[in-house]
Amino acid sequence: MKKIIASVFAAALLLMGTEAFAQLVPGAGYLFSAEKGKNDKTSEKEEYKLNGFYAGASYNIPLVAGLGIAPGLYADMLFYNGEATNVYAQAVSTSVSQRYTELAINLPVNLNYRFELGDNAALWAFAGPVFQCGIVARSTYNGRIDIGPIHINEGDAYNHYDPEDGDTNRFNIYMGGGLGFQLGDLLLTVGYDHNLLNIDRTQGWKTNRNQIKVGINFAF
């Protein structure tokens, strides 16, 4: 995956040097993530719904007519505070709540097309891959819980990215797309991402994540 990321951004940098009207587009917004997992051997299931936000910027490089390419760099944070729904976790108590925090860096590379609606208005359509690297994924529980052979006491923090005991892959790739409406320098966007890799490291489990993003951007 590192080779793919390097190749995409090398091409973007070459284009960046030849385009005089490229735009820096910073933005931020709300992020909703739905995560679903299933054990292929036992048919057990798990589901999480996380809320958070994202912020960062992209660099839109016009190519021809209304077509452009926009590499970007964004950080997102997601939170979950509720029942520990991962059914493969055997809890000592009958009900265990979980507080989960996640921080990740995202590198989207979107192709986009701009439809002019007038002097100060335009409609955008965009799509492309998003390369993600997780920085922090941590949970605390209000009771003792066992995740496979891992024993977590009440109040202890569990690192989901731990090289030995973690249950989540740090790297992920999404395929995303969306629409935007621009009025002057203000750009409102709605996007959807579907992950392409299994983010679960637990044997027998496959977990996927879909995301919806609603943001405000400024096209300088």
**Tens digit of each residue's pLDDT (9 = 90 or more) over 66-105:** 999 999 999 999 999 987 755 444 444 446 778 999 999 9
Query: What's the CA gap between 189 and 59, in Å, rounded?
Result: 15
**Tens digit of each residue's pLDDT (9 = 90 or more) over 50-74:** 999 999 999 999 999 899 999 999 9
Which residues partner with 134 through β-bridges? 104
**Tens digit of each residue's pLDDT (9 = 90 or more) over 142-197:** 776 766 666 777 677 889 999 988 889 999 999 999 999 999 999 999 999 999 99
Share of the chain above pLDDT 90, in %: 59
**What stretch of H or E contains 15?**
helix 2-16
Positive or negative, the CA dihedral 214, 51, 55, 159 is negative
Query: What's the CA gap between 204 and 206, in Å, rounded?
Result: 7
Q: State how many domains the chain has.
A: 1
Which structural domain, as residue segments, surrounds residue 50?
Answer: 2-218
Q: Which two tokens stand for residue 84?
A: 């520990």
Question: Which CATH number do you get for residue 59?
Answer: 2.40.160.20
Cβ atoms within 10 Å of 199's Cβ, excluding its own: 22
Global confidence as pTM: 0.81
